[in-house]
Amino acid sequence: MELVQRGEANFCTEWSIDDALAVGKRSGFSLKQYNTYDTDPIIFMNQKKPPFDKKLVRQAFQWAFDYDAMRNFFKGYSTAMAGTFPPSYPQAAKDLPTFKQDPAKARSLLSQAGVDPASLDISFMTPTGYNDLVAGATITQASLQKIGVKVSVRQLPFGQIVSAFSSPTTAAMMTDLYNSPFTLDPTQFLAEYLPTAFAHSFSNYDNPEVPKLIDKIQSTGDAATQQTLLNEVQHKLVDDAPCIWGGTPKTLVVVPDYLDGYVMQTTDYRFPCLFYLLRVAVFLR
């Protein structure tokens, strides 16, 4: 941020919300805003760890989460989601309700599951050094406390979290990551929920109907049929509740006024530093 402000660096792709807002409003800079398709955070519930073997408990946690607090972390530059696809994603189902915090509904679902919230002590591992993921963990902790559930948060290097989740005895009950498609192929988004996915070790989600539906989506060339199947799998994922979709933040990028030509692809993640065709304007005095 300081290098860009001083003109010692011309361009940067990875801006925190605070830095982008501070620099983007200064003279000589423009603040660019983009709707990208990444989910931040995606909070997995480990179904090999009770009580997450019960779907009603996972659903309860979805409705207990404080989505407004997550949006506030991003200074309002984030949108709540209705499922695995962000609302601006072209193939997102239009008939799913957007998640919002509803403690009463969460308590009711726990009651239906026969689970006393006071009996729960949830372990949550979150990657150190990632402020948004740490925020996702602490917001989860505060949210569940409102319904009487205790959550213990540990910050660890991401590699240690991966190692911990490689064994059921050391795995935590919850963790949070990012999810982004990188392409406009909707099945790449859905691949996070396959048994072969990297994320599977964090959720242990396994519904045999989901791979079958994804195979059908990939094999059909008819757009209407594909959307029908996509809607079906989105509804199935929301009902199975393998995770909490924390929100989809905007991507903010600061561009000095002397640079021209920067356009972000909607499938870009916020972190990769790609090669862009940027032109340097020459100002004659």
- pLDDT score of 78: 95
In a domain, 281, yes or no: no
Query: Region 258-280: what's the mean pLDDT?
Result: 72
Task: Mark whether 157 and 269 lie in a shared domain.
Answer: no
141, 151 Cβ separation under 8 angstroms: yes
Task: Mark whether 84 and 105 lie in a shared domain.
Answer: yes
Look at the chain and report how many structural domains it folds into: 2
- pLDDT score of 26: 92
Residue in the structure block whose two tokens are 């919850």: 174
Q: Is the pLDDT of residue 276 over 70?
A: no
Task: Mark whether 123 and 216 lie in a shared domain.
Answer: yes
Mean pLDDT of all residues belonging to the chain: 92
Q: Is the pLDDT of residue 63 over 80?
A: yes
pLDDT class for 268, splitting at 50, 70, 90?
low
Least confident range from 46-50, 122-126, 138-142, 220-224: namely 220-224
Task: Mark whether 212 and 254 lie in a shared domain.
Answer: no
Q: Does residue 51 have a cis bond before it (omega within 30 degrees)?
A: yes
In a domain, 161, yes or no: yes
- pLDDT score of 279: 80
Residues 6 or more apart in contact with residue 22 via CB below 8 angstroms: 1
Query: Region 13-30: what's the mean pLDDT?
Result: 90
Query: Region 173-197: what's the mean pLDDT?
Result: 89
Task: Mark whether 78 and 211 lie in a shared domain.
Answer: yes
In a domain, 192, yes or no: yes
pLDDT class for 192, splitting at 50, 70, 90?
confident
Q: Are strands 150-156 and 121-127 parallel, antiparallel or unpaired?
A: parallel
Task: Mark whether 91 and 136 lie in a shared domain.
Answer: yes
- pLDDT tens for 83-110 read 999 998 999 999 999 999 999 999 999 9
The C-alpha atoms of residue 119 and residue 51 are separated, in whole angstroms, by 10
In a domain, 156, yes or no: yes
- pLDDT score of 34: 87
Task: Mark whether 200 and 74 lie in a shared domain.
Answer: yes
In a domain, 284, yes or no: no
- pLDDT score of 273: 57
Task: Mark whether 73 and 199 lie in a shared domain.
Answer: yes
Domain of 128: which CATH number?
3.10.105.10
In a domain, 195, yes or no: yes
Task: Mark whether 23 and 120 lie in a shared domain.
Answer: no
279, 260 Cβ separation under 8 angstroms: yes
In a domain, 282, yes or no: no
- pLDDT score of 117: 97
190-195: long-range contacts at Cβ-Cβ below 8 A with a sequence spacing of 24 or more? 190/84, 190/214, 190/217, 190/233, 190/237, 192/42, 192/84, 193/84, 193/237, 193/242
Q: What residues are paired with 256 via a beta bridge?
A: 29
Task: Mark whether 135 and 160 lie in a shared domain.
Answer: yes
Task: Mark whether 265 and 171 lie in a shared domain.
Answer: no
**How many other CB atoms sit within 10 Å of the CB of residue 7?**
10
Please report, rounded to a whole number, the percentage of residues in the chain having pLDDT higher than 70.
95
Q: Comparing C-alpha atoms, which of 197, 237, 190 is closest to residue 217?
A: 190
Task: Mark whether 77 and 163 lie in a shared domain.
Answer: yes
Which structural domain, as residue segments, surrounds residue 50?
42-248
In a domain, 285, yes or no: no
